[in-house]
Structure 1
Amino acid sequence: MSQPIHQPYNSPKRLVRSDDDAWLGGVCGGIAQYTGVDANLIRLLVAIGALFSFGTLVVAYIVAWVLMPKE
């Protein structure tokens, strides 16, 4: 009987700003890669949220832009 092949452990997912899928800072692209959701849907939700939150989500986006490491 042969020994089973050991697969290396997958590294944990990291939330990083996207280099490939970036319009402004890559925050929405990074969130899309992390969650597996289309980046345009994330951008649409952020834009709608920014309108209804009276700019609070814009501040959160800027904070994420500063705090999230680049890919």
Structure 2
Amino acid sequence: MNFENQAPRPFTRSSSQRMLGGVCAGLAEYFNVDLNLVRAGAVLAAFVTGGTAVLLYLALWMIVPEN
């Protein structure tokens, strides 16, 4: 495989499949996984980390550009 000519894909928030900020939908598109799986993981991470994942989500919402 030749990786020299492939430009990296930009990570962007989704504007079409968003519930709040589109961060989970953007992650699902970027990694090509099911959106519901990413959302369930985000909710689980919010409970397991005691809310730190919510702060990370909010930071990504502000930093990551929308497509």
1:58 equivalent in structure 2: 54
Alpha-carbon separation, structure 2, partners of 1:61 and 1:51: 13
Match 2:13 to one of 13, 17, 23: 17
Size of the aligned set, in residue pairs, is 63
Q: Matches of residues 1-71 of structure 1 in structure 2 within 5 Å?
A: 11-71=7-67
Gaps of 5+ in 1: 1-8
Q: CA RMSD in A?
A: 1.1
Letter of the 2:47 counterpart = L
Q: 2: distance between equivalents of 1:21 and 1:15? A: 15
TM-score with structure 1 length normalisation? 0.83
**Letter in structure 2 aligned against 1:63:** A
What residue identity is the alignment partner of 1:19? S
Aligned-pair identity (%):
37
TM-score for both structures, normalised by structure 2: 0.88
Q: Which runs of 5+ in 2 are unaligned?
A: none
